[in-house]
Amino acid sequence: MNQQEFWNSKFSRDGYLYGLEVNQFIKYCYDNFKKSQKVLCLGEGEGRNAIFLAKKGYEVEAIDASDVGLNKLYEQSKLENVEVKTTCIDINNWEPEKKYGAILFTFMHLKIEELKILLKKVENSLKEKGFFVVEVFSKNQIEKNSGGPKDLELLYSVDDFKDNIKELKIHKLEEVIVELNEGTGHQGEASVIRLIAQKI
């Protein structure tokens, strides 16, 4: 099963798997982004973060492998009276063609070699002073039942980011315990890694 088939099966249900509310870490730090510059949401799924940012006045682009998820994003964006440009592609096949003032993703699940490649692309795609913001499940999430894959190869350590971010200044990089309330997909106590980095 490829990424599109996997996520289409997840999103082909009534309602929104991870809810309609923005991720709380994105809500905490989004106002660092410049509204004069585009924001890119990677692995954006059904679109809760992209729609939140669009409602705040940002020009937003979203990428995801799931056409089902992006169709839900489109339908919700119309209800919210905002516009989000979407591209349906496996994130591993994404080839950046422009620069962004901010790039973000939450709870994307890539193997470490895939993550290393993606981080390099992100570094190359940020404008000067641009921000990179991430929240993902840590390896300690394997012991919890609040969401995420039951596969250590798809979970992360702080070092996975610290060792592979070469061109950005890291403002925050930590593993913390949070209480998730994101649709039916993420509920309860979770171990996450949070990152804020900037191209200087």
pLDDT in tens, 70-102: 999 999 999 999 999 999 999 999 999 999 999
Identify the CA nearest to 51 among candidates 31, 28, 70. Answer: 70
Task: Indicate whether 14 pLDDT > 90.
Answer: no
Residue 137: phi and psi, rounded to 5, are -75, 140
Q: What is the CATH number of domain 3-198?
A: 3.40.50.150
Rounded Cα gap, residues 106 and 25, in angstroms: 9
Structure token digits, residue 128:
């000067």
Q: b/e string for 17-30 if b means 16 or more Cβ within 10 A?
A: bbbbebbebbeebb
Structure token digits, residue 120:
């390099």
pLDDT in tens, 140-183: 999 999 999 999 999 999 999 999 999 999 999 999 999 999 99
For residue 121, the model assigns a pLDDT of 98
What does each C-alpha distance from 21 to 28, 48, 111, 146 come to in angstroms?
13, 6, 27, 17
Q: Which amino acid is at 91?
A: I
Rounded Cα gap, residues 179 and 155, in angstroms: 18
Rounded Cα gap, residues 156 and 141, in angstroms: 9
For residue 139, the model assigns a pLDDT of 98
Identify the CA nearest to 68 among candidates 148, 3, 134. Answer: 3
Helices (H) and strands (E) in the chain, counts: 6, 7
Identify the CA nearest to 89 among candidates 50, 124, 61. Answer: 61
The SS3 of residue 144 is coil
The SS3 of residue 63 is strand
Task: Indicate whether 1 pLDDT > 90.
Answer: no
